[in-house]
Amino acid sequence: MNRKTIGFILGMSLLVFSSLSFGQDLLIKNGTILTVTKGTIPKGDILILKGIIKQIGENIKAPKGVKIIDASGKYVIPGIIDSHTHIALAGTNESAEVITAEVKMSDVLDAEDRSIYTAITGGVTMVHTMHGSGNPIGGENVVIKTKWGKTWEEMIVHSAYRTLKFALGENVKRSNIPTVGAPRYPQSRMGVNAIIRREFLKAKNYMEQWDRYLNAKKSKKTAKNLIAPRKDLRMEQLADVLRGKMVARCHSYRADETLEFIKLSKEFGFKIISFEHASEAFKIAKELAKEKIGISIFLDNWAYKVEASEGIAYNAGYCTKNGVLVSINSDSGERIRRLFNDAAKAMKYGGLSEEEAIKLVTINPAIQLGVEKIAGSLEVGKHGDIAIFNEHPLSAYTLCEKTIIEGEVYFDRAQYLKEREEMEMKKKEEEKKKEKKGGTK
Amino acid sequence: MIKRTFVFAVILIISVSFCLTQEKSPGVIAIKGASIIPVVGEDITDGIILIKDGLIEAVGKNIAIPAGAKIVDAKGLFAYPGMIDGSCYLGLQEIGSIRATVDYKETGRFNPQAKTVEALRPDSMHIPISRSNGITTALVAPSDGLISGQSGLIRLVGWTPEEMVIKSSVAMHIQFPPLPRLRRRRETQPREQASKQITELKEILKQARYYQKRKDAAKKNLGLRLPEFDEKLEFLLPVVSGELPVMISVHAENDIKAAIKFVKEEKLKAILYGVTDGWKVAEDIKKSEIPVIFGSLNTVPSKWEDGYDAFYRNPGVLAKAGIKFAFSSDSASLAKDLPCHAAKAAAFGLDKKEALKGVTIYPAQIFGVDKMMGSLEKGKVANIVLADGDILELRTNIKHVFIDGKEVSVSSIYTELLEKFKKR
């Protein structure tokens, strides 16, 4: 057997294996279905087979053996997607150096982080978990599904964009932490911009070295005694950004620094998919819309530092109305469980419709992560990632009852309540026993 | 001559008082057509609220509107009493990371002399935002140390601190020293420290009582020496006399029990704050008859076995046990989210009407101002909010806010910045 056939067999068996292990079968019946992209079905069913949505409509019959969830009186929405968090990580910032593009968050995934569970109690099924904002160029982020109880390998969404974290402003200037020892370069927004430019210039030089080497290797004239350039993992990452194999996600608050970074991206020709936090995006909505750059922001968390002190709650609504792709993120292991509350606030601030508001935490982040073909709305062919709420998800009185990923139930409030009751009964019994023991003494 | 002066004086007094009332009262206002949720009493559909001299003159259905009254058409709107924030840092903090703008915490462990209302910034950008979310009154509280200082009750409108202050001293704030959770050998140190701090608290109260005794004795007997002036003890006198309540920040199960014991032993008037483990000791709290003010519910419990929704369901459990409670934002920049906390508790088991009371009449009762505010009733101050829906709902828009019978602006830095950049 030659290498090719072995590869083929291996590949095929992997394919078969993965298709076998992918997802479960489930029929959700009689819920109010908010598809997000294709309107609302007042009373409908969703059939999920092997983790994929096969059918959405009314009166769908369950194939033999398929588990049924009765969602009468409940609201069924696509699983919520958090476009910017730092959960499920064993580390957030590589702070020993200023430029750390070679760092990968997929190397430090922690499948047992309880924040994953917190996320599913709020209907979240997918998160973009990122490097911190301590460095002008941080590390490579990773998209995972919140499959609580599974291994991190099973959580990674491989089809998502490869994204690299950039950061501007106060955090990289280290404005808000006391200086220990010598101050770190950069200390100003001038330095921040300059250091990112420096790294891209280096990366271009690095790429040219390799191109020259590879070209020289091709020609008999120059191929002799050639020494390959040194492989540099940091530069490889930046080269991937320049080659368009990776996109930039840039932490920025102020409008001015945001515009400067857009200029930088044009200077070098790389793609920015979204700005993170972007408190002042409403000031430059025109530019963002024109450049087709999205924003991933808090709805109303603000004024915790100077660059966040003009981050008005109207940001999401106003930018949406002006053609910017907006997602609401949590950036927190707590806020992650109430993103649907934040989405509702965008109706009050900015006058978004219900549909536009839900998009902020479903299809919009899906587009920003490059997973809109598999998630972010309830459509045939997409993954069966679903959240079920007892009341309208945009009501202040709602709560998430079930969180489903690829047809498998990961959070079930009824089950949770049952387990808690049992635990409390047990505790009471133990206390009684203790009292009895104490009494006989 | 005397007669003339007298007449003149009378005229002067009348005209001055007339001017004052003129300035205070915008005349009679009639809010017409709203669905009225008075909080105390039955809801009224298509009702009328009359405001006179800053007070509620009448609430009901068939009320004659006096000629010349300014009419506010509130058809399709819902009238609520203005909400009361049970504890926040409004006017005491602008930007969290900038110490220059943070004025609610002092250094040192005992600061009974510190008063938040004396550090109040009326121009704070956060105040109009809270106001435009239907909050008209707030307790501004100090933090840090063991005895943090005194909180005050403010109305969310005014050019000067004086214009804002309703009650300059509402409670003395104590941060109850937390006992370590686990009894491991290594943790004997902090355990001792916590009980030592409780002893210290008791000691300073004891000193204050003695200080009072000596003052009283010296008052009766000129021959006795006055005690040497002591700032800390001086400001603790209303606490030990039972005049001024203590507001005790406390969270864990055992600490709540210890705090209740402390209050009982020291014979203090008290309010508990935070009380995140309250649901575990609801019976104890109920027995103590101490009211509770909840902090932000947006926290994940540190103990896994408490369940993810422990903070959310806590108010419902305590309400069911018959404990008087109120909500608070515990924030400055997010003080506007006060109704969100109440609604969240309602989502997890608290009765919706009770949730509303937790931001209106209950805090008024706890702070001893329920004769003045907390509901839409005749004779109360006209703090009224007109909204296009349920006031606790996230999607509801607040249309009009009245504080002391005067309509106040619902614009804020939010709307100002938005309008500025809309012109671009």
Q: Are A283 and A414 part of one and the same domain?
A: no
CB contact under 8 A, A334 and B424: no
A297 phi/psi in degrees, rounded to 5: -130, 170
Q: B210 in helix, strand or coil?
A: helix
For position A222, what pLDDT does the model report? 87
Contacting residues for A386 by C-beta, under 8 A, at least 6 apart? A28, A46, A76, A77, A78, A79, A125, A378, A402, A403, A404
Task: Determine the average pLDDT of the residues in A284-307.
Answer: 98
Identify the residue among A133, A253, A284, A312 best suited for mutation to test binding to B, counting B beta carbons within 10 A and taking the highest. A312
Of the candidates B300, B308, B347, which has its C-beta nearest A398's C-beta? Answer: B347
The alpha-carbon gap from A334 to the nearest alpha carbon of chain B, in Å, equals 6
- Residue whose pair of structure tokens reads 């309208």 in the numeric block: A392
B121 interface with A at CB cutoff 8 Å: no
Where are the extended beta strands (E) located within A298-340?
326-328
* A93 in any annotated domain: no
Please tell me the distance from the alpha carbon of residue B67 to that of residue B85, in angstroms, as a whole number.
36
Can you tell me the ipTM of this complex?
A: 0.93
CB contact under 8 A, B95 and A334: no
**Nearest to residue A286, comparing CAs of A248, A255, A250?**
A255
Of the candidates B95, B337, B392, which has its C-beta nearest A303's C-beta? Answer: B95
Q: How many domains does chain A have?
A: 2
* A305 in any annotated domain: yes
For residue range B55-88, list pLDDT tens digits in order: 999 999 999 999 999 999 999 999 999 999 999 9
Q: How confident is the model at residue A8 (pLDDT cuts 50, 70, 90)?
A: low
CATH 3.20.20.140 spans which residues of chain B? Answer: 83-373
CB contact under 8 A, B347 and A347: no
Of the candidates B298, B396, B413, which has its C-beta nearest A348's C-beta? Answer: B396
CB contact under 8 A, A396 and B415: no
**A441 has a pLDDT exceeding 60:** no
CB contact under 8 A, B347 and A282: no
Q: Which residues 8-47 on chain B approach chain A with CB closer than 8 angstroms? A: none
Q: How confident is the model at residue B356 (pLDDT cuts 50, 70, 90)?
A: very high
A171 interface with B at CB cutoff 8 Å: no
Of the candidates A176, A333, A394, which has its C-beta nearest B300's C-beta? Answer: A333
Mean pLDDT of chain A: 94
CA distance to A26, A223, A249, per residue, from A157 (Å)? 21, 42, 17
CATH class of the region B83-373: alpha beta
CA distance to A215, B64, B386, B401, B409, per residue, from B27 (Å)? 89, 16, 19, 17, 18
Please tell me the distance from the alpha carbon of residue A433 to that of residue B276, in angstroms, as a whole number.
28
A322 interface with B at CB cutoff 8 Å: no
DSSP per position, B301-348: -SSGGG-TTHHHHHHHHHHHTT--EE-----STTGGGHHHHHHHHHHT
Contacting residues for B151 by C-beta, under 8 A, at least 6 apart? B87, B116, B139, B140, B141, B142, B169, B170, B171, B173, B247
For position B184, what pLDDT does the model report? 52
Q: How many CB atoms lie within 10 A of CB A2?
A: 7
Please tell me the distance from the alpha carbon of residue A34 to that of residue A76, in angstroms, as a whole number.
6
Identify the residue among B394, B399, B419 best suited for mutation to test binding to A, counting A beta carbons within 10 A and taking the highest. B394
Q: Are A199 and A270 part of one and the same domain?
A: yes
Residues of A in contact with B340 (CB under 8 A): 341, 396
Please tell me the distance from the alpha carbon of residue B153 to that of residue B169, in angstroms, as a whole number.
7
Q: Are A112 and A162 part of one and the same domain?
A: yes
**B375 has a pLDDT exceeding 70:** yes
Residues of A in contact with B344 (CB under 8 A): 338, 396
- CATH number of the CATH domain containing A156: 3.20.20.140
Residue type, A292: K
CB contact under 8 A, B415 and A300: no
**A1 has a pLDDT exceeding 60:** no
Residues of B in contact with A309 (CB under 8 A): 94-95
Crossing angle of helices A189-218 and A255-268, rounded to 10°: 10
Residues of B in contact with A314 (CB under 8 A): 414-415, 418
Q: Are A52 and A129 part of one and the same domain?
A: no
* A92 in any annotated domain: no
More confident residue, B7 or A319: A319
For position B17, what pLDDT does the model report? 45
**Nearest to residue A47, comparing CAs of A257, A33, A39?**
A33
User: Do residues A145 and A158 lie in contact, with contact meaning Cβ atoms separated by under 8 Å?
Assistant: no
Q: Are A63 and A137 part of one and the same domain?
A: no
Please tell me the distance from the alpha carbon of residue A224 to that of residue A205, in angstroms, as a whole number.
23
Please tell me the distance from the alpha carbon of residue B365 to that of residue B374, in angstroms, as a whole number.
8
Nearest C-alpha in B relative to A116 = B308
The residue segments making up the domain with residue A320 are: 105-374
Of the candidates B95, B300, B343, which has its C-beta nearest A309's C-beta? Answer: B95
* A15 in any annotated domain: no
First to last CA, chain A: 78
**What is the helix, strand, coil percentage profile of chain A, to 5?**
40, 20, 40
A313 interface with B at CB cutoff 8 Å: yes
Residue type, B235: F
For residue range B188-225, list pLDDT tens digits in order: 556 678 889 999 999 999 999 999 999 999 999 999 99
* Least trusted range by pLDDT, from A61-70, A371-380, B179-188, B351-360: B179-188
Strands A40-49 and A26-34: antiparallel
Size of interface A-B (CB pairs under 8 A): 107
Question: Quick one: how far is CA B75 from the chain centroid?
Answer: 31
Share of chain B above pLDDT 70, in %: 91
For residue range A231-264, list pLDDT tens digits in order: 999 999 999 999 999 999 999 999 999 999 999 9
The alpha-carbon gap from B157 to the nearest alpha carbon of chain A, in Å, equals 21
**A16 has a pLDDT exceeding 70:** no
Identify the residue among B93, B395, B410, B413 best suited for mutation to test binding to A, counting A beta carbons within 10 A and taking the highest. B395
Q: Are A249 and A214 part of one and the same domain?
A: yes
First to last CA, chain B: 69
CATH code for B23-82+374-424? 2.30.40.10
Q: How confident is the model at residue B18 (pLDDT cuts 50, 70, 90)?
A: very low
**A65 has a pLDDT exceeding 80:** yes
User: Do residues A413 and A401 lie in contact, with contact meaning Cβ atoms separated by under 8 Å?
Assistant: yes
Q: Are A178 and A225 part of one and the same domain?
A: yes
- CATH number of the CATH domain containing A68: 2.30.40.10
Handedness of CA A380, A385, A390, A391 (dihedral sign): negative
Task: Determine the average pLDDT of the residues in B229-250.
Answer: 98
**B183 has a pLDDT exceeding 70:** no
User: Do residues B261 and B287 lie in contact, with contact meaning Cβ atoms separated by under 8 Å?
Assistant: no
Please tell me the distance from the alpha carbon of residue B405 to that of residue B408, in angstroms, as a whole number.
9
Nearest C-alpha in B relative to A318 = B418
> What is the b/e burial string over A226-246, where b = at least 16 CB atoms within 10 angstroms of the residue's CB?
eeeeeebebbebbbbbbeeeb
* A88 in any annotated domain: no
Residues of A in contact with B308 (CB under 8 A): 117-118, 121, 337, 416
Where are the extended beta strands (E) located within B158-251?
165-175, 246-250
DSSP structure class, residue B184 = -
For position B21, what pLDDT does the model report? 41
How many residues in total does chain B contain?
424
A422 interface with B at CB cutoff 8 Å: no
For position A182, what pLDDT does the model report? 86
Q: How confident is the model at residue B22 (pLDDT cuts 50, 70, 90)?
A: very low
**B350 has a pLDDT exceeding 50:** yes
**What is the helix, strand, coil percentage profile of chain B, to 5?**
35, 25, 40
For position B193, what pLDDT does the model report? 82
Instruction: State which H helix or E strand residue A428 sits in.
Output: helix A413-440
More confident residue, A393 or A225: A393
Whether the bond into A186 is cis, omega within 30 of 0:
yes
Contacting residues for A153 by C-beta, under 8 A, at least 6 apart? none
Q: How confident is the model at residue A75 (pLDDT cuts 50, 70, 90)?
A: very high
Nearest C-alpha in A relative to B340 = A396
Task: Determine the average pLDDT of the residues in A368-377.
Answer: 98
* A2 in any annotated domain: no
Please tell me the distance from the alpha carbon of residue B55 to that of residue A420, in angstroms, as a whole number.
49
* A98 in any annotated domain: no
For residue range A182-209, list pLDDT tens digits in order: 889 999 999 999 999 999 999 999 999 9
Choose one of A327, A343, A374: the last residue of a domain: A374
Please tell me the distance from the alpha carbon of residue A361 to that of residue A355, in angstroms, as a whole number.
11
A330 interface with B at CB cutoff 8 Å: no
* A89 in any annotated domain: no
Identify the residue among A334, A348, A353 best suited for mutation to test binding to B, counting B beta carbons within 10 A and taking the highest. A348
Residue type, B281: V
**Most trustworthy range by pLDDT among A224-228, B187-191, B416-420:** B416-420
Q: How confident is the model at residue A84 (pLDDT cuts 50, 70, 90)?
A: very high
- Residue whose pair of structure tokens reads 């076995």 in the numeric block: B305
Choose one of A320, A349, A374: the last residue of a domain: A374
A418 interface with B at CB cutoff 8 Å: no
- Residue whose pair of structure tokens reads 């909505």 in the numeric block: A285
Choose one of A352, A374, A396: the last residue of a domain: A374
User: Do residues B116 and B166 lie in contact, with contact meaning Cβ atoms separated by under 8 Å?
Assistant: no
For position A196, what pLDDT does the model report? 98
B343 interface with A at CB cutoff 8 Å: yes
Identify the residue among A306, A309, A416 best suited for mutation to test binding to B, counting B beta carbons within 10 A and taking the highest. A309
For position B8, what pLDDT does the model report? 53
Please tell me the distance from the alpha carbon of residue A275 to that of residue A287, in angstroms, as a whole number.
12
For residue range B127-140, list pLDDT tens digits in order: 999 999 999 999 99
Task: Determine the average pLDDT of the residues in B30-57.
Answer: 97
Contacting residues for B206 by C-beta, under 8 A, at least 6 apart? none
For position A60, what pLDDT does the model report? 97
Q: Are A227 and A278 part of one and the same domain?
A: yes
- What residues form DSSP beta bridges with A26? A48, A67
For position A13, what pLDDT does the model report? 58
B304 interface with A at CB cutoff 8 Å: yes
For position A12, what pLDDT does the model report? 59
Angle (CA) A132 B311 B180, round 5°: 80
Please tell me the distance from the alpha carbon of residue B58 to that of residue A209, in angstroms, as a whole number.
85
